[in-house]
């Protein structure tokens, strides 16, 4: 990674299959200044390397939402006795295109 590039990991709600991951990767790679985008289906994240002089974090988030997914900004954990259920603020659904 060169000095001018930044790397960020976005948590994406609703990425449930390989096609979802590829769709998100392609949307991000189409942005000016994005040098790489790699989705991790197992933990619903995407790592993006980009040039902040050409794209902003909000541009990356918009690229994800434009193809039907949500970027999770906050995670809440609800404790009920011995049970724990993590719930995302942005509950996404698998969307077919």
Q: What is the Cα–Cα distance from 72 to 93, expressed in whole angstroms? A: 13
pLDDT for the residue 96: 44
> Is the Cβ–Cβ distance between 78 and 87 less than 8 Å?
yes
pLDDT in tens, 81-96: 776 656 655 554 444 4
> Cβ(4)–Cβ(53) under 8 Å?
yes
Inform me whether the pLDDT recorded for 35 exceeds 70. Answer: yes
Question: 96: which residues sit within 8 A by CB, 6+ positions away?
Answer: none
Q: Tens of pLDDT along 39-79?
A: 999 999 999 999 999 999 999 999 999 999 999 987 667 77
Confidence of residue 1 (pLDDT cuts 50, 70, 90): very low
Q: What is the pLDDT of residue 94?
A: 47
**Rounded alpha-carbon distances, angstroms, from residue 89 to 2, 12, 26, 47:** 34, 11, 25, 20
What's residue 48's pLDDT?
98
Give the chain's domains with CATH numbers. 6-88 (3.30.70.100)
């Amino acid at each position: 990674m060169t000095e001018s590039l930044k790397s960020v990991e976005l948590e994406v709600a609703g990425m449930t299959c390989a096609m979802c991951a590829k769709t998100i990767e392609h949307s991000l790679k189409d942005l000016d200044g994005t040098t790489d985008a790699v989705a991790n289906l197992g933990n619903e994240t995407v790592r993006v390397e980009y040039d902040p002089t050409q794209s902003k974090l909000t541009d990356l988030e918009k690229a994800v939402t434009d193809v039907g997914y949500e970027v999770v900004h906050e995670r809440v954990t609800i404790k009920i006795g011995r049970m724990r259920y993590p719930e995302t603020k942005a509950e996404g659904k698998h969307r077919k295109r």
